[in-house]
Amino acid sequence: MSHWEPKIVSFLCNWCSYGAADLAGVSRMEYPPNIRVIRIPCTGRMSAKFILAAFRQGADGVWVSG
Amino acid sequence: MISPKLVEVGRHINIELMTCSEVESVEGESGNFEVTLVNHPRYIDLAKCTGCGECALHCPVTAVDSFNMGLDDRKATYIDYAQAVPLAFTIDTDTCIGCGKCETKCMAQAIRFDDKERKTTLNVGSIILSPGSQGFDPSGLEYLGYGKYANVITSLEFERILSASGPYSGHLMRPLDRREPAKIAWFQCIGSRDLSEGANKYCSSVCCMYAIKESVIAKEHAGSDLDCAIFYMDMRTPGKDFEKYYNDARDKHGIRFIKSRVHTIDPVPGTGDLEVRYVTDGGEMNSEIFNLVVLSVGLQTSPDVIRLANRLGIELTRGNFCKTETFEPVATSKQGIFVCGAFQGPKDIPQSVVDSSAAAAAAGEILSTARNTLTRSKEIVPEINVINERPRIGVFVCRCGINIAGVVDVPSVTEYAATLPYVDFATENLYTCSQDTQEIITQIIKEKNLNRVVVASCTPKTHEALFQETLINAGLNKYLFEMCNIRNQDSWVHKNNPELATEKAKDLVRMSVTRVALMEPLKEAELEVNQTTMVLGGGISGMAAARSLARQGYETHIIEKSDRLGGQALNLFQTPEGEDIREKVSLYIDDINNNEKIHVHLNTTITRVDGFVGNFESELYSKNEKQILKHGVAVLATGASELKPVEYNYGKDPRIITNLDLDKKFIQKDPMLKNLTSAVFIQCVGSREPQRPYCSRVCCAHSIQSALELKRRHPDLNVFILYRDIRTYGEHEYLYQKARKTGIIFIKFSLDNKPEVTLQEDQLRVGVRDHILNRPLEISADLVILASAIVPNGDEKLANFFKVPTNNDGFFVEKHAKLGPSEFATDGVFLCGLAHYPKPIDESIAQGLAAASRAVTLLSRKNIFMSGTVAMTDPAYCSSCGVCISICPYSAPSFIPDDDRFFPGRAQINPVLCKGCGLCVASCRSGAIHLKGFDNDQIFAQIFSVNEVI
């Protein structure tokens, strides 16, 4: 398990968190590359089915932000 | 917050940005000006620079970062900040050593060392001046030690320190030793409300609020243990919701507010700390040690702008702001030249935005006959039908100079993309966003017969619209596109991990490819905008809106519930500048009545509103008659009125009156005003109280103006003004100074120690505790004037008709407190005047113009296209539960009428009102709603392809 790295699927709101993730890049911040971002129009669009589907695909964590 | 606005302006087809330019001269007249500009060299080709920053990375020169207020360094090749528009670098020739390194490193070949100063002339019909203001330089005020002690900084420097993109990356530190301060002091009115040489006499309007904001944010950064103290003369928070913010800062965040002016700052040797000495209101000497001192510097017009105004022949005020009239708040002294922002007077963002829209309306009134004669529009390329065709995807991977390619192995990502299902073509570009690449992409789409496109580059937030335009030019529906963010969310944040960054880029490209394969061409609902407008309320701001709309060529109906136009302005006597208000209002009313495009409906109310943006249908009710009015937009200017006080014995004696009662006496030349010996004004009657926590904004200036008028008539009259904070913001401060000079006596009281008005044997007595002597005082008065609050004519029915919200105080809630003050979140509905918040006449008129201006942006398009990413129902699956209808913030879903032939009672969604948030889709328990462009299968496709096994 020493080399185990989690896989994180994140759902980011187009209007806030997705923009914040862009700004993190503009500010040249660094974070681990384990995350895969899916842009959604609003967290209102979020469905429990998406979270379950992500876990079924082997995600170790799901992050919804908006 | 302003970034999207910047991008919108930068990309607008009919806005030409001329940077590094100054106005040299203006010849001609309103409607036909010739403007000569001096264009200073940028030394970098704006058309070629992609803003990648490679030039600055290699520049060997270190220069002072003026954008970060000198707290940081930058290179000689620089850009002010990462979101700047245009996103292009410039070379600062004062520090550049001419080594040429940037030229060799720039792959876009944008460096132009031979760039020269040029002159250009423009032919324009009207001009808007928005040169802004600069912060007051406190180095002249020696006692503050600014420039001498490193830990005495200006508020502007503190703003940069708090900023995440500032000199300390948002970490709260003091400049001297980069230590985190534990105690910070703010000094208010630095360079403002100051009669000494070199300072400004006016109030800068914005500093109280920004100091509170800075202290609250500082506590957010450093934790609640941070001790913040604000030293002030009067706290001036008269803006919408500002008083609540002030109260919360004091009560919830524990910010200390100390009413005092600091007279001495001494360094504490060896610590970098500062000892602050001040005298309290009660005359007590105090001292306290702080780690950091922030000077709340005021706003002033820069000498460059004063020179510009002189060149243009524009009159300035005493405080060097642009001179305007109360009833023409955005017109300069020169016809055809308008003004907005802090050059018109010191003001905050919401007021600046109101002014800017107002100036646009005023400029548009002159130009309305020439509307659309010089505008450019896009060429329409016929759309290729791709339905039922197998996806043929093209993938364009961007190197972004070395921004992406320096970390991510772009060739291997491109190679990988080519292996993905349905990908017919994959290539890499040096800069996918450059103009020539757009033409190449268009050609490739046509040659390879592609029907879906993926661009793997930066962020869709800034570049999606650009690439979608390229698709349109190639004849593809713009929704057959997907952007894959491998720069901002990959190469830039994983630069020390190139291998995993490349893996991530491949994953992201795969997710985008599977998603775009499922995208379908979407149709954007087209909507015709009815060119008739309706203004609700015939007060001064409603009339201003209506007149501007009519002058810009639109049929306008004013709906007024009373029997005359003019509203509250008819009850007012004089402006703070001493102009006769009723005279000016009657001229305004004549103007309205003589305008054949304006139809006035008096004694009329609204009983029903149907429809939505562009196509409203309102039922007007007057004298038992009903009439239907069809209109494209609505402006709500329903106003407010004076609160009838319930305290201070109001109503029990004819000598206890309100400010409006006094105005009435002035207007009617009431003999009662003749034999007076003593008059007492009491401020904040019903305002800034727990049950009505807002400040009514206009009362301080109004009371002082009336007090001066009484004093003018009877120089021997004793006039007292009992106040909590005097809020004569901006250049109204001169009134306050004049009042003090004239001998009007100001006595401060606090909320827990309010004055008392008593009647003793026909004698009016006002008891108050004097704040300096700290002793009770009794004044016998012939007249007590109550500065009563302004309360909105809250009409819940109307708010429901137009589906617009009101706040706890009953005022309408605008789209955005800062950037959208004159419009509602509901499309096609606008607001202005007192219904928005209490404000004086000039601001009411400016907002009336602003509402008209915002409305015209919609009206002038005649047809509008809504977004294609909207929700739609599949009525066969709908269970008529109504969740979507109750949950939608935009009122887009409704039930299909019962008498409809198909699916009566099931839900339907109006694509015109839908904003595509997807709330209804996620809430629908029957799975009957689909969000086009973000449907389940498209999002699932992305989730399923997170791992390579598809």
Q: Give the pLDDT confidence of B838-855 residue by residue, as tens digits.
A: 999 999 999 999 999 999
Domains of chain B are 134-300 (3.50.50.60), 393-517 (3.40.50), 528-641+792-864 (3.50.50.60), 643-789 (3.50.50.60), 871-931 (3.30.70.20)
Closest Cβ–Cβ partner in A7, A14, A28 for B492 = A28
B944 to chain A, any CB pair closer than 8 A? The answer is yes
Are B613 and B828 in contact by the 8 Å Cβ rule? The answer is: yes
Number of neighbours of residue B595 by Cβ within 10 angstroms: 15
Q: Give the pLDDT confidence of B551-588 residue by residue, as tens digits.
A: 999 999 999 999 999 999 999 999 988 889 999 999 99
CA dihedral B824, B129, B352, B165 (to 10 degrees): 110
Nearest CA in chain B to A47: B922
Q: Give the pLDDT confidence of B357-401 residue by residue, as tens digits.
A: 999 999 999 998 888 888 888 778 899 999 999 999 999 999 988
The structure tokens listed for B734 are 């001169």
pLDDT of residue B60: 95
| DSSP element (H, E) containing B777 | strand B775-781
Instruction: State the smallest CA–CA distance between residue A49 and chain B in angstroms.
Output: 9
User: CB A26 to CB B490 under 8 A?
Assistant: no
Which of B79, B938, B943 to probe the A interface (max A CBs under 10 A)?
B943
Q: What count of CB pairs under 8 Å joins A to B? A: 112
Q: Give the pLDDT confidence of B435-459 residue by residue, as tens digits.
A: 778 889 999 999 999 999 999 999 9
Give A30's contacts in chain B (Cβ within 8 Å).
493-496
Taking the C-alpha atoms of residue A29 and residue B515, their distance in angstroms, rounded to an integer, is 28
pLDDT of residue B867: 87
Taking the C-alpha atoms of residue B586 and residue B452, their distance in angstroms, rounded to an integer, is 62
The rounded mean pLDDT for chain B is 94
Half-sphere exposure of B290 (CA within 13 A, CB side): 26
User: CB A22 to CB B461 under 8 A?
Assistant: yes
Nearest CA in chain B to A15: B461
Taking the C-alpha atoms of residue B481 and residue B468, their distance in angstroms, rounded to an integer, is 7
Helix, strand or coil, per DSSP, at residue B668: coil
User: CB A28 to CB B460 under 8 A?
Assistant: no
Taking the C-alpha atoms of residue B924 and residue B195, their distance in angstroms, rounded to an integer, is 65
Give A54's contacts in chain B (Cβ within 8 Å).
943, 946
SS3 percent helix, strand, coil of chain A, rounded to 5, is: 35, 25, 40
B916 to chain A, any CB pair closer than 8 A? The answer is yes
Backbone dihedral region for residue B735 (phi beyond 0: left; psi -120 to 50: alpha; all else: beta): alpha
Higher pLDDT, B794 or B366: B366
Which of B488, B494, B890, B914 to probe the A interface (max A CBs under 10 A)?
B488
Taking the C-alpha atoms of residue B339 and residue B317, their distance in angstroms, rounded to an integer, is 13
Helix, strand or coil, per DSSP, at residue A27: coil
Contacts 24+ apart (CB under 8 A), B705-708: B705/B574, B705/B575, B705/B576, B705/B735, B706/B573, B706/B659, B706/B662, B706/B663, B706/B666, B706/B681, B706/B785, B707/B679, B707/B681, B707/B739, B707/B744, B708/B735, B708/B738, B708/B739, B708/B742, B708/B744
pLDDT of residue B4: 64
B329 to chain A, any CB pair closer than 8 A? The answer is no
Which residues is B142 bridged to in the sheet? none
pLDDT of residue B950: 39
B936 to chain A, any CB pair closer than 8 A? The answer is yes
- Pairing type for strands B134-135 and B127-129 reads unpaired
B918 to chain A, any CB pair closer than 8 A? The answer is yes
SS3 percent helix, strand, coil of chain B, rounded to 5, is: 30, 25, 45
B502 to chain A, any CB pair closer than 8 A? The answer is no
Closest Cβ–Cβ partner in A19, A25, A36 for B511 = A36
Q: How far is CA B315 from CA B186, B312, B337, B405, in A?
A: 35, 9, 12, 55
Closest Cβ–Cβ partner in A9, A27, A45 for B922 = A45
pLDDT higher than 60, residue B877 = yes
Residue A1's pLDDT band (cuts 50, 70, 90) = low
User: CB B922 to CB A47 under 8 A?
Assistant: yes
Closest Cβ–Cβ partner in A9, A27, A41 for B943 = A9
Give A26's contacts in chain B (Cβ within 8 Å).
82-83, 165, 488, 492
User: How far from chain centre, in Å, is Cα B340?
Assistant: 13
Taking the C-alpha atoms of residue B72 and residue B168, their distance in angstroms, rounded to an integer, is 8
Half-sphere exposure of A63 (CA within 13 A, CB side): 16
Instruction: Say which residue the tokens 């030394």 belong to.
Output: B43
Residue B317's pLDDT band (cuts 50, 70, 90) = very high
Residue B50's pLDDT band (cuts 50, 70, 90) = confident
Structural domain spans, chain A:
8-65
Taking the C-alpha atoms of residue B884 and residue B894, their distance in angstroms, rounded to an integer, is 8
Give B461's contacts in chain A (Cβ within 8 Å).
14, 18-19, 22
Taking the C-alpha atoms of residue B849 and residue B354, their distance in angstroms, rounded to an integer, is 8
pLDDT of residue B3: 67
pLDDT higher than 70, residue B1 = no
B871 to chain A, any CB pair closer than 8 A? The answer is no
Interface of B with A in 476-495 (CB under 8 A): 485, 487-490, 492-495
Residue B862's pLDDT band (cuts 50, 70, 90) = confident
| DSSP element (H, E) containing B361 | helix B349-367
Taking the C-alpha atoms of residue B227 and residue B107, their distance in angstroms, rounded to an integer, is 50
User: CB A28 to CB B942 under 8 A?
Assistant: no
